[in-house]
Amino acid sequence: MEIKQLIDSGLMETYVMGVATDTEIQQVLWAKKQFPEFADALTKLEVDMEILAQSMAVPPPSGILSKIEQEVNEIKLREQNLERFTETESRYKQAEQEKVKQDRYIEVESETNQMRISKAWRWVFAAVFVLGKIFLGFAIYFYLENRQAQEQIKDLKIEINQIKSIK
């Protein structure tokens, strides 16, 4: 397509009016790059559209500027509040996650073979241990005593039997 045809096609106008399709936009950008004449015509059209908008301008009533400042202020405050809320929410979520992690840790520990008890119990265990040793000592002592007594009885029985046979 010749450059003159391209300029006269109405492509530039749809682009500047903001209603060009994706293909048309690509065509305009390509032509702008390829042909300086097209680029100049496009710039001129853009300037003219701005001048046209100026000629169709409607002066805003007084007080609009302060309302705009107020609106910007409110939007900023809303954004700040939203940021604060998001921050608090993320902190709360983090705390929740920490808690879940902790819960998991406790669960894992509860599955081990170890247990925790109060230190006061060590005296009870020591006493049980010592008493155990004492009872064991007594048990061995009486066992040996008993065995010795049995042997003596046996000897005495043999002696009595021998005396009986001599008589």
55 binds other proteins (CB under 8 A): yes
Q: Does position 66 bind other proteins by CB under 8 A?
A: yes
Among 1, 2, 52, 116, binds other proteins (CB under 8 A): 52
Position 19 contacts other proteins (CB under 8 A): yes
The residue count for binding other proteins (CB under 8 A) is 42
Check if the beta carbon of residue 70 is closer than 8 Å to that of residue 36: no
| Cα 60 to the center of its chain, rounded Å | 52
Site for other proteins in 32-51 (CB under 8 A): 44-46, 48-51
Q: Does 1 bind other proteins (CB under 8 A)?
A: no
Q: Which sign does the torsion angle of CA 22, 41, 9, 4 carry?
A: negative
Q: Is 58 in the site for other proteins (CB under 8 A)?
A: yes
- Tell me: does residue 57 bind other proteins (CB under 8 A): yes
Tell me the two tokens of residue 97.
């996650």
Go through 142-167 and write b for each residue having 16 or more CB atoms within 10 A of its CB, e for each that does not. eeeeeeeeeeeeeeeeeeeeeeeeee
Q: Closer to other proteins at the Cβ: 17 or 149?
A: 17
